[in-house]
């Protein structure tokens, strides 16, 4: 058994679920060092200082340190070098600040201070942290490939000493390690009765990068065609929600059976009740919420891009992946009007995504950590 310290400066949502899921499933002893999930920019600047102070105070000597992408790992290691100089380190990228999409409206929200332009400093924190780590994990192949596709052009913008050779250096130490999911928390003692009409589920964040405008456009189209359905709008809200939600609540009216963040019992029930889940996202490095819905026998309709194709076995791509908005409306119409076929496909697909459960992934994580320690430790 190895003693692993996991550093999570933005500890909430999917980051917290991942960290605690691995901790509970691992054969290793995993200690968490965390800060709350707010003020993400300050977490990337100052989180390393606070967590380094706490780490030193604990006087720990773990076999391995694993940090998430929200940590400035270079600062953390510099401030703790008296204890960490011989400890191997790994960096886990849930996301990165180089290829995370920017909002169209740069005048509000967290981008207002740089007028919608990407603040290159946060991307460079990620890159420097990757250089400092012994191993780098990305949560999907799409995430890894899109990052390295963008990295050379990013470096070329610098006037000199742009260190283009680092691209190959980082590629050699990088690999894919999917997010583990605690599917067991979604179990129900009794399955709910089927809805009278098909239920469509939105269980993603209420934010611009999830593209709710395209989601509601598809719903408006099938509603106008006279197709019966209901919709449950779950997911977390951070700050002001996109205005399309207000319009959609008015236009869809009684079709909306839930709107707002759902507690776990409600979320479980809606997952198992739902017939169809949609994603229209501009951004998805992995897709936990989609996999949770699929596990609960909900039929997914997903764009044929981002991380989604690698989540589904190829035999389901034709039925579940759409090419454009017109294709989405067509496939959604088919799913809502052929309910038996939709239910049967969802049942088969639920089994196929069990490979993302912690039960199956924890042994892979544990062996990866053993491998890192063996490579680095004399």
pLDDT at 104: 65
Helices (H), the chain: 13-25, 40-58, 73-79, 81-84, 120-132, 141-156, 166-173, 212-224, 244-252, 264-273, 288-295, 308-311, 317-320, 325-337, 339-352, 358-376
Tens-digit pLDDT profile for residues 128-138: 999 999 999 99
Closest among 125, 268, 97 to 184, alpha carbons compared: 268
Residue 292 and residue 164 share a domain: no
Higher pLDDT, 125 or 189: 125
pLDDT at 107: 54
Q: Is there a contact between 275 and 195 (Cβ–Cβ < 8 Å)?
A: yes
Q: Which of 13-27, 58-72, 106-120, 181-195 has the lowest mean pLDDT?
A: 106-120
- Considering the domain architecture, whether residues 350 and 290 belong to the same structural domain is answered as yes
What is the pTM (predicted TM-score) of this model?
Answer: 0.92
Q: What band does 305 get if pLDDT is binned at 50, 70 and 90?
A: very high
Task: Give the torsion sign (CA, 204, 210, 213, 217).
Answer: negative
Total domain count, the chain: 2
Band of the pLDDT at 375, cuts 50, 70, 90?
low
Distance CA 152, CA 149 (A): 7
Bridge partners of 332, per DSSP, are none
pLDDT score, position 192: 85
CATH number for the domain including 347? 3.40.50.2000
pLDDT digit string, tens, across residues 39-92: 999 999 999 999 999 999 999 899 999 999 999 999 999 999 999 999 999 999
Structure tokens at 228: 């019966």
My answer on whether 109 and 215 are in the same domain is no
CA-CA-CA-CA torsion sign (82, 87, 93, 97): positive
Quick one: residue 225, left, alpha or beta (phi over 0 = left, psi -120 to 50 = alpha)?
Answer: alpha
Q: Are residues 156 and 240 in the same domain?
A: no
- Alpha-carbon torsion (262, 267, 270, 274), positive or negative: positive
pLDDT computed for residue 106 by the predictor: 54
- Cα atoms in the 13 Å half-sphere on the side-chain side of 370: 10
Instruction: Give the pLDDT score at 75.
Output: 98
**Per-residue model confidence (pLDDT) at position 112:** 46
pLDDT of 213 higher than 50: yes
Banded pLDDT at 105 (limits 50, 70, 90): low
Q: What is the pLDDT at residue 13?
A: 86
∠ CA 73-78-83, rounded to 5°? 100
pLDDT of residue 87: 95
pLDDT for 226 equals 95
Determine the Cα–Cα distance for residues 316 and 309; give it in Å rounded to an integer: 9
Same domain, 132 and 68: yes
Tokens of 316: 């389901």
Q: What is the mean pLDDT of residues 257-268?
A: 92
> What whole-number distance in Å separates Cα of residue 32 and Cα of residue 18?
12
The percent of residues above 70 in pLDDT, for the chain, comes to 95
Burial of 244 (0-12, 13-18, 19+ CB in 10 A): middle
Residues 157 and 106 in one domain: yes
Check whether residue 53 and residue 192 sit in a common domain.
no
Same domain, 162 and 17: yes
Torsion sign over Cα 351, 356, 362, 366: positive
222-260: per-residue pLDDT in tens? 999 999 999 999 987 766 777 888 898 999 999 999 998
For residues 29 and 74, membership in a common domain is answered with yes
Q: Is the pLDDT of residue 149 over 50?
A: yes
Q: Band the pLDDT of 268: cuts 50, 70, 90.
A: very high
- Tell me the C-alpha to C-alpha distance, in Å, between residue 360 and each of 121, 309, 311, 346: 37, 20, 15, 21
352 with 362, same domain: the answer is no
Distance (Å, whole) CA 47 – CA 75: 10
pLDDT at 367 over 80: yes
Q: What per-residue confidence (pLDDT) applies to 280?
A: 96
Which band of pLDDT confidence, cut at 50, 70 and 90, is reported for residue 195? confident
- φ and ψ of 376, to 5 deg: -90, -40
Q: Give 78-147 as a 3 state SS string.
A: HHCHHHHCCCCEEEEECCCCCCCCCCCCCCCHHHHHHCCCCCHHHHHHHHHHHHHCCEEEECCHHHHHHH
- Assess whether 332 and 192 both reside in one domain: yes
Q: Are residues 317 and 280 in the same domain?
A: yes
Q: Which of 205-209, 234-238, 361-365 has the lowest mean pLDDT?
A: 234-238
Sorted by sequence, the CB contacts under 8 Å of residue 314 that are 6+ apart come out as none
Q: Which residues neighbour 303 within 8 Å (Cβ) at sequence distance 6 or greater? A: 279, 280, 281, 321, 322, 328
Which pLDDT belongs to residue 118?
73
Give the per-residue pLDDT at 340: 93
- Tell me what pLDDT residue 377 has: 54
Mean pLDDT of the chain: 92
Range of the domain at 63: 3-180+358-376
Cβ 177 vs Cβ 368: under 8 Å = yes
Average pLDDT, integer, range 28-43: 95
């Amino acid at each position: 058994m190895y003693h692993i310290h996991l550093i999570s400066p933005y500890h909430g949502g999917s980051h917290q679920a991942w960290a605690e899921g691995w901790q509970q499933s691992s054969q290793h002893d995993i200690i968490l060092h965390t800060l709350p999930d707010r003020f993400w920019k300050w977490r990337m600047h100052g989180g390393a200082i606070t967590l380094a102070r706490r780490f030193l105070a604990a006087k720990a000597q773990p076999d391995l340190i694993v940090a998430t992408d929200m940590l400035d790992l270079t600062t953390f290691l510099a401030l703790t070098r008296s204890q960490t100089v011989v400890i191997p380190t790994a960096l886990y990228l849930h996301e990165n600040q180089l290829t995370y999409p920017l909002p169209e409206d740069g005048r509000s929200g967290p981008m207002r201070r740089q007028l919608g332009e990407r603040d290159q400093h946060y991307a460079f924190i990620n890159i420097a942290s990757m250089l400092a780590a012994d191993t780098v994990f990305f949560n999907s192949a799409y995430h890894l490939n899109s990052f390295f596709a963008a990295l050379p052009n990013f470096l070329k913008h610098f006037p000199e000493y742009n260190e283009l050779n680092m691209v190959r250096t980082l590629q050699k130490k990088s690999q894919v390690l999917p997010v583990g999911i605690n599917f067991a928390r979604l179990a129900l003692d009794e399955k709910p009765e089927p809805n009278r009409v098909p239920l469509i589920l939105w269980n993603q964040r209420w934010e611009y990068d999830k593209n709710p405008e395209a989601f509601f456009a598809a719903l408006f189209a099938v509603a106008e065609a006279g197709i019966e359905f209901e919709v449950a709008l779950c997911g977390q809200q951070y700050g002001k929600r996109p205005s399309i939600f207000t319009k959609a609540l008015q236009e869809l009216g009684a079709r909306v059976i839930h709107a707002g963040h759902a507690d776990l019992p409600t979320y479980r029930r809606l997952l198992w009740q739902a017939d169809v889940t949609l994603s229209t996202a501009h951004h998805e490095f992995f897709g936990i919420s989609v996999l949770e819905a699929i596990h609960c026998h909900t039929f997914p309709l997903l764009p044929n891009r981002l991380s989604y194709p690698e989540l589904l076995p190829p035999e389901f791509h034709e039925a579940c992946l759409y090419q454009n908005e017109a294709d989405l409306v067509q496939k959604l119409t088919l799913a809502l009007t052929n309910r038996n076929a939709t239910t049967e496909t969802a049942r088969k697909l639920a089994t196929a995504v069990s490979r993302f459960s912690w039960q199956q992934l924890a042994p892979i994580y544990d062996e990866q950590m053993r491998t890192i320690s063996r490579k680095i430790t004399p």
